[in-house]
Amino acid sequence: MIFDGVILMVVGMIVVYFFLVIMNTVIKMSSSAFRDHALQEEKMLLDEAEEKRRKKREKEQKKAAMTAAPIADASRMVAVITAAAHAHANR
């Protein structure tokens, strides 16, 4: 009876071992078969990420230019008002 249990255990371990060997072989074969596709997809994802970063950088530069423009406009207005006040005072 114990001998039957040991035999069942050994047979079960051999079945599991061969299953894992077959599974490992199938995974390696599928990995080599889809390598080109995976590289193309990775390149595509990197290009999309770079495009997003470029758009974000352009948006930030545009926003910085828009925020800098009112400051320049405000300083120009101050200069015009000062010149007008000075011209009025010297009349």
pLDDT tens per residue across span 63-74: 877 776 666 677
**Euclidean distance between CA atoms 76 and 36, whole angstroms:** 59
Q: Name the percent of the chain in helix, strand, coil, to the closest 5.
A: 95, 0, 5
**Euclidean distance between CA atoms 37 and 41, whole angstroms:** 6
**Euclidean distance between CA atoms 86 and 89, whole angstroms:** 5
**What are the pLDDT digits (tens) for 32-82?**
999 999 999 999 999 999 999 999 999 888 887 777 666 667 778 888 889
**Euclidean distance between CA atoms 77 and 84, whole angstroms:** 10
**Euclidean distance between CA atoms 29 and 44, whole angstroms:** 24
pTM comes to 0.47
